[in-house]
Amino acid sequence: MPGALRESRHSGEVQHSENASIQSIAASGGNGRYAGRSELLLRLRQGPVLFGPGVSRYILPMQHAEIPFFPPAKSRTHEVCGAGAYVFAFALAARLASHTIWVRENWDNTQINPTGFADFVEPSVLTVCNTGKHTETLAVAEEALRSGAVSLVVMSLNQPLGLTEGRRLQLAARDGRSTGLAIIPEGMGSNAAETRWRCIPVFDPKDSTLQKWELIKNKSGTLGVWHVRWETASRRITMVSPARE
Amino acid sequence: MFDGRQRRVVSLWFPRLASDRVLRLHPVEGPFVLTLKQQNANRIYCLNAAAAQQGLHQAMPYADARAFCPSLQSRMAQPEQDRRFLHTLRRWATRYCPWVGLEGEDGLVMDVTGSAHLFGGEEAMLADMRMSLMRAGLSAQIGLADTRGAAWALAHYSEGIAPGGDTLPALKSLPVAALRIDDRMSITLRRLGLHTIGDLAQAARAPLTRRFGPGLLLRLDQALGTQPEEISPYADPPHYAVRMTLPEPIGLLSDVMAGAERLLVQLCAKLKTQEVGARNLCITLRRVDQGCQRVELRLARPLRDPQRILELFERGLSEVDAEFGIDQLRLEATWVETLPAQQISHVSGGGKDKLDDLISRLGTRIGLENIQRFLPADSHIPERSFIVAPAAYSDPASGWVSAQPRPICLFPPEPIAGADAHPPTRFRWRRMALTCARTTGPERIAPEWWLEDENWRSGLRDYWRVETREGRRLWLFYTPQNPGWFVQGEFA
């Protein structure tokens, strides 16, 4: 919490967006040193440079706080709903850092955009399966989970998932020792799911990736609510304090 | 010379190969021609005997032929099919001798040295050939002589057998065109008074060479046997199919799998010797009631490992209905690709193999082309900044760069209400009332005029990144040339 407070104090009038960081870098490079465009871009890729070296030493430990229950248990199938479900899926894929299979139905016209999620995972580790219908999606996901060739199977579902199907996915995930993640519409989960998350993007005047992750079902632990944001530079989710104002 | 004996060569000429091939499949009465578009006109490519009797000839325009012969029936010619048919005939001809080559587009040449006696002599062998070809419905002319050139001349101009030893007497009376020279040369020779091969053989050689070049006398010498000429036999292309016939019908899945395994071991050994891997496999199961069922397997990458292929076949074979039992299995690799032997090392990961097997297995369920991966593309248009390619037929590529942040998901543009070129402060999208809290933009993207795209008809787009007070971070665009606001994607 103190870290977050200090962050807001130090950022001060400087906006925490990319344009703002360009200004700040340009300002820092202004004291006697010329910062070229390529160097600017390089430093941008490394992450926001808002604080002096002395300050970040105190902030970093707090920012690397782990979120409890993330990544969710291996060899199980989990569910995620809400507008930020894709972010959860990509963050999980980035965390598991191995090959991912993404199963979707071919009529679904929302398409994941590799130039966008390249910040999370390398698009070459993702294989997309287009299926014809709901049962096919489940069959493909079950087979992929059971094979053990991939570490994460994301399935995008549009219909409620029955107990039998949910249980079969759990067994397949256990056999293949891989994680399953079903992106479900709100309130259409299966009782067999190990955990269920609700992810909602939250507006924050100083941050562009803030999300609220709610753990709304957990078979082996407590529930909880966390505010998180995505760090592009280190490719990881970090927890932040919700009381930021 | 062959072991002190004279070489003997048979030349087979099929003057009506193309039309005979078609008429074998679809017999018709009366004049019949095959037409092909040549020199900007539909011309006769091949014709049957009845059409030739009506005065039609090859390369005649089809319209003229119709005028001569109103009852003419025709079909389109398929030269590629004819070529394949000739290769089939070549394979058939290996029953007479192992040394069979092709002679142009419509003939075969066989070296029958030492094999004629197996058919009761040369005359009996030619009679056997004629009988088989006649039964197959093919008209053929056959010549047999000591050299390839002489046999060709006999086949085309005077069917028969030239006795061994001296070839000249048999060729003496044939026209000079029988030497496989072009038409212009043979016309010039006739104008000079050299009508037959006999005339040419008696003429002085030096002036002929000066006048016609070395080609003419080379042909003459080849026909008379003073210059050698080889016959290049075609090797049969490797045949990747094996089969097994069973004394008793089988019906259990485990039995069929055991049969398939035996076939796979044989097939993979064959694939290994040729350094290729199977990409598509097809197993045909014949039942006792003569019905047959095919199970196809398409692999994500070339393979020749029997155990791995067998596991992938399991799903297809389990869906087969055996009814009264299966008594023959036939396994064929319908598509092979080169797969050179590779160094095995302890560092090569097994994960790639497992993933390829998974893609093959999923491909049997949803189709191999429905399993895709993303490849980078060079375009500023959001929809075309990546390529979706089938994972089985492409290699993963890296090199993803984007100067501006891009949304993680895209959808077809959804219109919203908006007044001017600045993003609306309040708007409704997907039945949600949203309030603009922070905007970043505009980023102008122009359509690619060199590609026709229906969605970009509205012209330029000014893209805005809009963060709403409700939390959603949307990618909006405004079309200044055709005023309107749309939502096209959502950010992380």
Are A50 and A146 contained in the same domain?
no
Does A195 reside within a domain? Answer: yes
Does B483 reside within a domain? Answer: yes
Distance (Å) from the alpha carbon of B430 to chain A's nearest alpha carbon: 12
The percentage of residues in chain B with a pLDDT greater than 90, rounded to a whole number, is 72
Give SS3 for A26.
Answer: helix
In this complex, the residue of A111, A140, A201 whose CB is nearest that of residue B410 is: A111
- Domain holding A118: CATH number? 3.40.50.300
Are B123 and B32 contained in the same domain?
yes
Are B141 and B175 contained in the same domain?
no
pTM: 0.65
Are B331 and B380 contained in the same domain?
no
Task: Give B215-249 as a 3 state SS string.
Answer: HHHHHHHHHHCCCCCCCCCCCCCCCCEEEEEEEEE
Q: Which residues of B touch A230 (CB under 8 A)?
A: 492
Give the Å distances, CA to CA, from B72 to B44, B67, B77.
11, 9, 15
Does A68 reside within a domain? Answer: no
Residues of chain A with pLDDT under 50: 1-35, 44, 47-63, 245
Q: Which chain A residue has the Cα nearest residue B489?
A: A110
Strands A152-156 and A179-183: parallel
Does B156 reside within a domain? Answer: no
Ramachandran bin of A233, using left for φ above 0, alpha for ψ from -120 to 50, beta for the remaining angles: alpha
Are B198 and B275 contained in the same domain?
no
Are A85 and A57 contained in the same domain?
no
ipTM of the complex: 0.73
Give SS3 for B291.
Answer: coil
CB atoms near residue A223 (< 10 Å):
12
Residues of chain B with pLDDT under 70: 1-5, 346-351
Count how many pairs of residues, chain A against chain B, have C-beta atoms within 8 Å.
Answer: 147
Q: Which residues of B touch A114 (CB under 8 A)?
A: 374, 376, 386, 400
The number of folded domains in chain B is 4
In this complex, the residue of B374, B405, B409 whose CB is nearest that of residue A110 is: B409
What are the tokens at B103? 């002679």
Distance (Å) from the alpha carbon of B369 to chain A's nearest alpha carbon: 9
Strands of the A236-240 sheet, one edge to the other? A236-240, A224-231, A211-218, A195-201, A77-81, A179-183, A152-156, A100-105, A126-131, B371-376, B386-390
Residue in this structure with the two tokens 């360009």, named with its chain if needed: A22
Does B352 reside within a domain? Answer: no
Distance (Å) from the alpha carbon of A37 to chain B's nearest alpha carbon: 13
Give the structural domain span for B212: 163-224
A204 CB contacts (<8 Å, ≥6 apart)? A210, A244
A28-31, Cβ contacts within 8 angstroms, sequence gap of 24 or more = none
Q: Which chain A residue has the Cα nearest residue B467?
A: A203
Is residue B391 less than 8 Å (CB to CB) from chain A?
yes
Does A244 reside within a domain? Answer: no
pLDDT per position as a tens digit, B115-134 = 999 999 999 999 999 999 99
Are A1 and A84 contained in the same domain?
no
Q: Please answer whether residues B150 and B171 qualify as being in contact, where contact means their C-beta atoms are separated by less than 8 angstroms.
A: yes
Work out the burial of residue A45: count CB atoms within 10 Å of its CB; fewer than 13 is exposed, 13-18 middle, 19 or more buried.
exposed
Are B208 and B324 contained in the same domain?
no
Measure the CA–CA gap between A57 and B467, rounded to whole angstroms.
31
Measure the CA–CA gap between B207 and B216, rounded to whole angstroms.
12
A55 CB contacts (<8 Å, ≥6 apart)? A6, A10
Are B168 and B130 contained in the same domain?
no
Does B436 reside within a domain? Answer: yes
Q: Please answer whether residues B201 and B173 qualify as being in contact, where contact means their C-beta atoms are separated by less than 8 angstroms.
A: no
Res A79: pLDDT: 95
A106·B370 Cβ contact <8 A: yes
In this complex, the residue of B358, B382, B470 whose CB is nearest that of residue A147 is: B358
Alpha helices (runs of H) in A68-187, residue ranges in sequence order: 85-96, 114-117, 134-147, 163-176
Q: Which of A62, A92, A109 is the last residue of a domain?
A: A62
Give the structural domain span for A107: 77-239
Q: Which of B119, B146, B173 is the last residue of a domain?
A: B146
Does B231 reside within a domain? Answer: no
Measure the CA–CA gap between B354 and B357, rounded to whole angstroms.
5
A18·B405 Cβ contact <8 A: yes
Res A26: pLDDT: 40
Are A54 and A9 contained in the same domain?
yes
The dihedral sign for the CA sequence B17, B20, B25, B26: positive
Are A123 and A186 contained in the same domain?
yes
Are A143 and A119 contained in the same domain?
yes
Q: What is the CA radius of gyration of chain B?
A: 35
The number of folded domains in chain A is 2
Element (H, E) at A218: strand A211-218
Q: Please answer whether residues B385 and A141 qualify as being in contact, where contact means their C-beta atoms are separated by less than 8 angstroms.
A: no
Res B5: pLDDT: 62
Q: Specify which residues A160 forms β-bridges with.
A: none
